[in-house]
Structure 1
């Protein structure tokens, strides 16, 4: 992305390094330096491609200048507290990101010395550890050495071992997973991905669905003595003839797993550490190319609610009776019940009419009558709509007077009882439950 008073997306996210190199040859000079515009563009570009849950590395390449005038970085940081919600400052980013500033200027440049504190404040605003890099010598060798060091520091791959029983394979993860800190009401734990990732079992991709993920990573077969990991082919081309590829002659559990998961449409449940799980699966961005991906779940054995406790998963043969997914929770969720919606008067009238319909069919509908009555009463108290209780009591009293002579006597008794309870102020507690009145003739 190139930036000035406006920003321009020169190349989308791609693994075609040659295309990126070709684009860099056609970078032009523009009118002025406006870093805020560039950061707004980064926000929109990453959110549009990856969403707000994927960690990214943002590298800002400048000449050491922060701009001049009202669009300068100094002016933006000075007026930070006066920003309106309609025009927020783009940092911190809307996604987890580390900001690295590369200043292509002489180390002793006076403009750079004045700009460094502003760049550092920008990094601090991002909320993550970043860096400011300056070449030791302002020439091709110094700049090349600077970017090589930056790539080694922030783009180093994760190297580990993938195990499944007696089978194992060296793997690399791109991008490298970072530690995850889980904060609860009374605890704060930091989780690190173990160097040995164990496969616990296999499950259908359809049963997994789309659980909340911490991050996603590309899984590559680990090769010894790799000098330039970034130059590796990061995709598996299914059209390549095995006879023309030397690596295809070397047995690899990673390749075997990839092919099996792709054909069977399955995913592997893996253990990343103590009480931390993830899924390995095949993902294809085109018809001919696919990748082996690793999704890191939120730490904990209940990170996928519809699968239940991940520690209790097992083979179907181990159970006499095995229910299918999703697993219903044992406790009843509050949001699983029908909510009370009174945005319009028709909703309230419908709830009252439903109670009256049950009232006219007493005593057969006694249970339903009090269930709906307590539901409406609890909602009214929660909303502070206490007048509704008195109005409902009046409706019940009028209903008693207008009942036909052929109805069951319990109908009038229960309506009168409900009206009396609704009138009592000591019963205006959301936890209080109105119970049916037991008349003597009910015991005959």
Structure 2
């Protein structure tokens, strides 16, 4: 999930700290060192994560857009300067804007890094939280965000400092207002590079760790990683809280055609990535068995057979999905998903917990082979009939495409098409009635009956504007159409407006 690192660059972060080596550093230097430690952990465990860097004091500024290039964030950290007083509300408003513009309701995480200062005056955190519940809707406090977001706060200050002790309850209240979890991280002891590193490592290990599991299919087994890391699912069922946690063992129980599974409702999607030899060695021997050069590791991984590659290719070529059990009475589907024409990935989409999360499939534990259950329902070359109650694959004629008026331009375009054909009568007789009936049916389906009167008025106006050289049949057809649209029969969707029968040769040839 996307992550925003928000660094406090107020004047209080420039206060000097004397280290054990009798060297003097500013508090923001310790904070930057902690962020670099966090980025090291991200580069090892969450290489696919998008991270953005924001600096804030009384105002806020995005120093680095969302990127997977952690080197760009390190470069931006070296250019951080000190500014005025601290204002958390300004920073949170900016973060909300950044995430809303970049991501569509995606779960995210925010890491606020400060020194234990609440700010002063009306913009202080204390004043903001005291007035958060009594504000007008236009001045609403930014938390909770309109999207799922965990708010973490790392306090780069000694817990023995009275100012820090007074600030911690307000920080915790800020996390609680977020409503989606998060944690307050403090230093163990005084301010030092080691204590700051430990705080950021605890943050990375708890909330930015990897999920390792095993993908099983019959006699095949493959260690895999799910990205992003699956979060426990919490549901309120009959006033009882139920928590579902994904198992480390993902078992494929069968395969089904894509057209049979259709587009089932899912709650979350994850990339399935094979574990590299370097990751296995790091876990087994704490990195002792890994090779010194990363290029050599990736070269060896390319030569190692992987079941995920076989599964991905098979599902893609056969247009099928794999039904997998991720926990007792909790299932999902594994399929090939392409984010571009040249690149595709193996994805796991999780259903709602329960046996009947996909109603037209039925209970997952009762699925079996179609050949064993009902041989006559198996697909045949002549009749593409599915054993499940899914939509037929037959394509309808383009003449019956539905009309959608989302914007005024769409309605205007359809009316202009009718008028263009009306001005070319009787040559465009059939096209005119076809478009007029199409627009009339759409107006009836939307309950837009006033459009019929407007169309009648426009056709009558077109009739009066006909030039003297116009064919007599044009005026007759326009008058006939306008009269029909004003009659009661026009509101009957089962009736079609048909051309007026005349004795003109041009009209019959139209």
Q: TM-score range by the shorter chain?
A: 0.5 to 0.7
- Does the 8 Å contact 2:261/2:361 carry over to 1? no
Match of 2:223 in 1: 170
* Structure 2: distance between partners of 1:161 and 1:273: 13
Q: Deviation string for 1:229-266 (max 9, x for gaps)?
A: xx9xxxxxxxxx99971112222212322343455554
Partner of 2:324: 270
- The CA deviation string for residues 145-175 of structure 1, in whole angstroms up to 9 with x for no partner, is 2211211111122222111111111122233
Question: Using the alignment, how far apart are the partners of 1:248 and 1:304 within structure 2?
Answer: 37
CA contact (8 A) 2:449 2:491 kept: no
Aligned: 1:327 with 2:390: yes
Q: What's the counterpart of residue 306 of structure 2?
A: 252
From 79, 95, 106, give the equivalent of 1:26. Answer: 79
Give the drift of 1:144.
1.8
The secondary structure found in structure 1 opposite 2:176 is helix
State how far apart, in whole Å, the 2-side matches of 1:158 and 1:106 are.
33
1:4 aligns with 2:57: yes
Of 215, 220, 238, which residue of structure 1 is paired with 2:268? Answer: 215
State the partner residue of 2:281: 225
Corresponding position of 1:14: 67
Per the TM alignment, residue 185 of structure 1 is displaced from its structure 2 partner at its CA by: 4.4
Q: 1:288 to 1:6 in 2, by over 3 A?
A: farther
Inter-partner Cα distance in structure 2 for 1:210 and 1:10: 40
- Which stretches of structure 1, 4 residues or longer, exceed 6 Å deviation after superposition? 241-244, 338-347, 354-358
Deviations 1:84-108 (Å, cap 9, x if unpaired)? 2233222122223322100112222
Residues 342 and 260 (structure 1), Cα distance of their counterparts in 2 relative to 1, 3 Å cut? closer
Counterpart of 2:174? 122
Checking the alignment, whether the CA contact within 8 Å between 1:242 and 1:249 is kept in structure 2 is no
User: Residue 117 of structure 2 aligns with which residue?
Assistant: 65
TM-fit CA distance, 1:197? 0.8
Equivalents in 2 of 1:208, 1:6: separation in Å?
Answer: 50
Which SS does the other structure have where 1:124 is aligned? Answer: helix
Cα-to-partner distance string for 1:29-69 (whole Å, 9 max, x where unaligned): 333322122222333333444433x4333211112222222
The one-character-per-residue Cα deviations of 1:155-205 (angstroms, maximum 9, x if unpaired) are 122222111111111122233212212224465432221221111333455
Instruction: Judge which range, 189-198 or 20-29, deviates more.
Output: 20-29
Judged with a 3 Å threshold, the aligned counterparts in structure 2 of structure 1 residues 287 and 117 are, in CA distance, closer, same or farther, namely: same
CA contact (8 A) 2:262 2:390 kept: no
Q: How many residues align?
A: 341
> Which residue of structure 1 aligns with residue 34 of structure 2?
none
Residue 287 to residue 343, structure 1, CA distance change in 2 (3 Å): closer
Residues 419-438 of structure 1: pairs in structure 2 closer than 5 A: none
Q: CA deviation at 1:135?
A: 2.2
**Equivalent of 2:134, from 53, 76, 82?**
82
RMSD: 4.1
Equivalent residue number for residue 502 of structure 2: none
Q: Is the 8 A contact 2:152 2:184 kept in 1?
A: yes
Aligned partner of 1:149 in structure 2 is 202
Q: 1:160 aligns with which of 213, 219, 225?
A: 213
Task: State the distance in 1 between where 2:139 and 2:306 align.
Answer: 53
Q: Secondary structure at the match of 2:138?
A: coil
Matched, 1:97 2:149: yes
Change over 3 Å in CA distance of 1:5–1:257 after alignment to 2: farther
CA contact (8 A) 1:101 1:119 kept: yes
For the residue of structure 1 that corresponds to 2:123, the secondary structure is coil
The 8 Å contact of residues 89 and 128 in structure 2, kept in 1 or not, is answered as yes
- CA distance in structure 2 between the partners assigned to 1:125 and 1:316 by the alignment: 52
Unmatched 5+ stretches in structure 2: 1-52, 288-294, 379-384, 392-441, 453-484, 495-510
1:300 to partner: Cα distance? 2.8
Matched, 1:295 2:358: no
Higher mean alpha-carbon deviation, 256-265 vs 115-124, is at 256-265
Distance change (3 Å), C-alpha of 1:263 and 1:78:
same
Separation (CA, whole Å) in 2 of partners of 1:102 and 1:34: 16
